[in-house]
Amino acid sequence: MHYVYKSSGNPEAMTLLLLHGTGGNEHDLIPLATYFGSDINILSLRGNTNENGMPRFFKRLAMGVFDEEDLEFRTHEMVTFIKELAEKEKFDATKIIALGYSNGANIAGATLFLHPNFLAGAILFRPMLPFHHQEIQFNFNKTPIFLSSGNQDTMVSSGEIENYVEALNFAGFDVTNFTINTGHNLSQLDLDLAVEWFQIKNLVN
């Protein structure tokens, strides 16, 4: 996978894993990382699939309809890649916090389903329920999860988000969920709420 890695210089640091939306790349979300402090590593990936020239992390069958078989494959592929990269770049694979927007949030969510104890936390901006035909596995770490949705987002129904949050809670995750007055686009309020959550959960060493 194409990636950008920026070390904090601290071997004990958390790593912020940045996962872009459809049509983005590994550079898009890097400016957001500065809001979370200087004592973190930054790892930003580019999706490994392509839809009409737009990078994505997995295929979809139609707008809002995921190719769940490909999503499962790509999620395992990404986790394996990150574990190998942790050895190469010398960061701690047990201290990774995902920050994903839209398509990136969805592969981060799929990671919670399939590798529930891999991430140390996750920030999901405009997520959708990643799987309808796959049971979520149990999380034993009470891993903190942040979700933010827009009440004017035509791509995601409020009912689906409620089901998603319920599934995460049932699986043992520590979920914080916000619905804000906006559409699918990322807003400053999303970022402010995520930074506040990040500090409250004490996710910086």
Q: Would you please indicate which residues are annotated as catalytic (active-site) residues? A: 102, 153, 184
What residues are paired with 121 via a beta bridge?
97
- Name the nearest CA neighbour of 40 among 119, 87, 97, 90: 97
Measured at the alpha carbon of residue 102, what is the angle toward residues 83 and 7, in degrees to the nearest 5?
40
What's at 204, amino acid-wise? V
